[in-house]
Amino acid sequence: MSIPRVLSIAGSDPSGGAGIQADIKSIAANGGYGMAAVTALTAQNTRGVRGVHIPPPQFLIDQLEAISEDIQVDAVKIGMLANTATIEVVTGWLERSTAAHVVLDPVMVATSGDRLLDADTSEALSGLITRAGLITPNIPELAVLAGTETAGDWEEATAQARHVAKEYGVSVLAKGGHLPGERATDLLVWPGGSVTQVSSAWIDTPNTHGTGCSLSSAIATRVVEREGDWESAVRVAKTWLTTALAAADDLQVGSGHGPLHHFAGQPGAGRRARRA
């Protein structure tokens, strides 16, 4: 089988921990060939975001068309989409794309709890969700999609995920990092309402910058080699993520919430990075 060719459509993180930089590392670490179309440029580091610049929509169109005219895209991971115009460009391109698998990581709620998308943009995102095979919201984002308050326990989160899966006809990986528990547990909910629990060891580390970006791009890569088996792709991606988080402290990058170690366990990965 050929190496999965995976396109990330997301924002850029100059510190390398999240966004397209994390996506390309994640894709490579999971055996794929990574590409990226940039939706936004950010000025950020491990301590926070200082600024965001959004290129004109036509430039995103140019990036996407340049890639698809020359390279077969097997899977697409979608991350930061800053405004309605950007969402509409991506939605239109997906309608013409031959990519078999689409993973959407809906970046909607900041760590502070603030909404990152206004009502008009959220409505446009709804149209994009129907073109994805899997979406990977965290608990606050799941609540926004379900149009309700943030879930306080798994019973509420499961009901919300079932509602979203049925409403949009899409599989939902509800990431449970915001809920209490002894293990890192996510719920994979199918459009028909069935639920599969995916659990892994809880890694106690402050270095979790870019975890959502990395997981979604890993799933996009693995689902290609597993020929569309979302559950298998999620499980192997979660196993890889656990290893990357367990080694995150070894990187010693930055003074805030540092990145995970995408290539942990691979040759040369044991050399310690110099503190930034």
| pLDDT tens sequence across 247-270 | 999 999 999 999 999 999 887 776
Whether this prediction's pTM lies above 0.85 is answered by: yes
Residues 137, 108: Cα–Cα separation, whole Å: 9
Domain 5-250 grouped into CATH 3.40.50.970: no
pLDDT(185) > 50: yes
pLDDT(92) > 80: yes
CB 4 within 8 A of CB 217: no
Residue-wise pLDDT tens digits, 190-236: 999 999 999 999 899 999 999 999 999 999 999 999 999 999 999 99
Please state, for a pLDDT cut of 90, what percent of the chain lies above it. 78
- By annotation, the residues acting in catalysis are 175, 208, 210-213
Across 109-211, the runs of DSSP E, i.e. the strands, are: 134-135, 171-175, 183-189, 195-201
Q: Which helix (H) or strand (E) holds 23?
A: helix 19-29
Long-range contacts made by residues 188-197, C-beta under 8 angstroms, separation at least 24?
Answer: 188/230, 188/231, 188/234, 189/158, 189/161, 189/162, 189/164, 189/165, 190/165, 191/165, 191/166, 193/162, 193/165, 193/166, 195/158, 195/161, 195/162, 196/231
Residues 65, 44: Cα–Cα separation, whole Å: 28
Distances in Å between the Cα of 183 and the Cα atoms of 108, 180, 211 are 25, 9, 16
Exposure on the CB side of residue 123, measured as CA atoms within 13 A: 3
Please state, for a pLDDT cut of 70, what percent of the chain lies above it. 92
User: Crossing angle of helices 84-96/119-129, nearest 10°?
Assistant: 10
Question: pLDDT value at position 82?
Answer: 82
Here the tokens at position 145 are 């999609």
Cβ atoms within 10 Å of 49's Cβ, excluding its own? 13
The arithmetic mean of pLDDT across residues 62-90, rounded, is 95
CB 137 within 8 A of CB 187: no
**Domain ranges (residues) in the chain:** 5-250
Residues 114, 13: Cα–Cα separation, whole Å: 20
